């Protein structure tokens, strides 16, 4: 069977995602779980698996760029990259607020966008509701005036146009090169990216929490390599032909661009697709990738006999998941990515905003967990403010003297 170039790109993206979904289910690769393990039990193993994936993705992109397989700038501007991680408009309020909202949402919804798809494949109907609500939130942000009315009017004046300072992008190499007055920052990009990847790998591998479990190595390794695989498919030789062919179509698929895996915007695409004339719209790379994760998880669940139907335990459980899904949809689009989209894919481009979003997501999740803990422990006796201040103390973001509640 001969496949046209669009079918090839979508098929390869789907198949890589199938592997990622199966491995994520098998290894329990989960960002929310990673934050929970570290915050609640002091076990950093799964968090280091996330960082391991990031390090592999950074190193792999640099190697493919050095070898001429990928564009050395990964299509910095315009519509050639989706999302434009390394844009010269440094929208720092989006990364911080969007990341915080997403981190809060994924904690309430029992998992990030990737984990939601994995759980759906495993039979969790709660996560199907989360996906639909997350898609609605993403749809509002992407295809309506909601973001333009609620967020951009007060955020845009705070954005920093790096081009005014002669800096071409927010990539770490370009930022430092611009600060040093260097016109060509390519060498700096390789140097900084290489050192960062080695540093992250060293931090990851030094811990017995990470090294002591093969699942951490397998989960982080496959996620990192999967992100690299998608970059190769969409930004390598095949991807460049894909983008060139799309210019001649009357209605090309959504987001024909250099890209890798991210799992919030595809849910918005899905919602838009369902609300429109399905026959008149081609599916996007991200939509097929999201389906691939769910299919891979389903296959593993069936083969391992772990497939289980799960539903909400109470009205409160339902409300938490709905609120969480909505916050993930809004926050993920605002931050221009999720735990995979910014934490691994975006980080692989060395975009400063991706690292900011990564930190904000982890912080939002950790704070939510701590607040839930103190509210549960003290019930009606603890106010939200007291729980928040104490959570910030626990995370070493406020002095110990400000502690309002004692832990047990």
What confidence tens digit (pLDDT) does each residue in 181-223 have?
A: 776 677 888 999 999 999 999 999 998 889 889 999 999 999 9
Instruction: Spell out the alpha helix ranges (H) of 206-343.
Output: 208-211, 214-235, 237-246, 265-275, 285-303, 315-334
Residue 280: the pLDDT is 52
Whether the predicted pLDDT of 318 surpasses 90: yes
When mean pLDDT is compared over 62-66, 248-252, 280-284, 404-408, the highest value belongs to 62-66
Range of the domain at 345: 5-349
Whether the predicted pLDDT of 7 surpasses 80: yes
Residue 73: the pLDDT is 61
Name the DSSP class of 351.
B
Per-residue pLDDT tens for 374-403? 988 887 778 889 889 999 999 989 999 888
Whether the predicted pLDDT of 16 surpasses 90: yes
Residue 296's pLDDT band, with cuts at 50, 70 and 90, is: very high
Per-residue pLDDT tens for 52-81? 999 999 999 999 998 888 876 665 444 467
By C-alpha distance, which of 366, 405, 312, 346 is closest to 106?
Answer: 366
User: Which of 190-219 are b and which e, b meaning 16 or more Cβ less than 10 Å from the residue's Cβ?
Assistant: bebbeebbeebbeebeeeebbeebeebbeb
406 assigned to some structural domain: no
Residue 80: the pLDDT is 63
Distance, CA of 16 to CA of 4 (rounded, Å): 18
389 assigned to some structural domain: no
For 337, the token pair is 């990515």
Distance, CA of 101 to CA of 289 (rounded, Å): 24
355 assigned to some structural domain: no
205 assigned to some structural domain: yes
Residue 293's pLDDT band, with cuts at 50, 70 and 90, is: very high
Residue 1's pLDDT band, with cuts at 50, 70 and 90, is: very low
- pTM given for the model: 0.94
Residue 212: the pLDDT is 86
- CA distances 276 to 144, 280, 282, 284, Å, are 14, 8, 11, 14
Residue 133's pLDDT band, with cuts at 50, 70 and 90, is: very high
Residue 246: the pLDDT is 78
379 assigned to some structural domain: no
Work out the angle between the directed axes of helices 186-205 and 172-179 (0-180°, nearest 10). 130
How many domains does the chain fold into?
1
For 21-84, the three-class secondary structure string (H helix, E strand, C coil) is HHHHHHHCCCHHHHHHHHHHHCCCHHHHHHHHHHHHHHHHHHHHHHCCCCCCCCCCCHHHECCC
Region of poorest pLDDT, from 32-41, 66-75, 127-136, 232-241? 66-75
């Amino acid at each position: 069977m001969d496949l046209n170039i669009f079918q090839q790109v979508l098929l390869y993206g789907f198949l890589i995602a199938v592997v990622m979904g199966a491995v994520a289910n098998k290894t329990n690769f989960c960002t929310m779980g990673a934050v929970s393990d570290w915050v609640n039990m002091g076990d950093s193993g799964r968090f280091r698996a996330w960082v391991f994936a990031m390090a592999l993705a950074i190193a792999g992109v640099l190697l493919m760029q050095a070898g001429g397989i990928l564009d050395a700038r990964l299509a910095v501007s315009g519509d050639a990259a989706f999302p434009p991680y390394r844009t010269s408009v440094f929208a720092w309020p989006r990364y911080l607020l969007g990341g915080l909202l997403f981190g809060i949402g994924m904690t309430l919804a029992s998992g990030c966008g990737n984990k939601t798809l994995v759980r759906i494949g495993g039979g969790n109907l709660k996560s199907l509701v989360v996906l639909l609500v997350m898609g609605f939130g993403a749809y509002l942000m992407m295809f309506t005036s909601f973001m333009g009315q609620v967020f951009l009017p007060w955020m845009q004046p705070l954005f920093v146009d790096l081009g005014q300072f002669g800096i071409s992008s927010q990539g770490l190499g370009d930022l430092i090169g611009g600060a040093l007055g260097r016109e060509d920052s390519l060498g700096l990009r390789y140097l900084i990216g290489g050192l960062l990847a080695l540093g992250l790998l060293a931090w990851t591998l030094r811990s017995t929490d990470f090294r002591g479990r093969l699942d951490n190595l397998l989960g982080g390794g496959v996620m990192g390599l999967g992100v690299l695989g998608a970059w190769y498919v969409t930004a390598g030789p095949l991807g460049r032909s894909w983008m060139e062919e799309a210019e001649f179509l009357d209605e090309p698929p959504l987001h024909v661009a250099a890209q890798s895996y991210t799992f919030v915007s595809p849910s918005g695409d899905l919602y838009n697709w369902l609300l429109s004339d399905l026959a008149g719209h081609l599916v996007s790379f991200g939509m097929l990738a999201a389906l691939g994760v769910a299919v891979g998880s389903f296959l593993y669940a069936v083969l391992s006999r772990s497939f289980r139907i799960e539903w909400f335990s109470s009205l409160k459980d339902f409300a938490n998941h709905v609120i969480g899904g909505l916050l993930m949809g809004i926050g993920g689009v605002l931050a221009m990515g999720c735990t995979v989209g910014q934490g691994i894919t975006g980080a692989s481009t060395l975009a400063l905003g991706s690292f900011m979003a990564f930190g904000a997501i982890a912080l939002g999740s950790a704070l939510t967990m701590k607040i839930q803990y103190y509210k549960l422990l003290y019930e009606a006796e603890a106010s939200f403010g007291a729980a928040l201040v104490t959570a910030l103390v626990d995370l070493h973001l406020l002095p110990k003297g400000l502690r309002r509640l004692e832990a047990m």
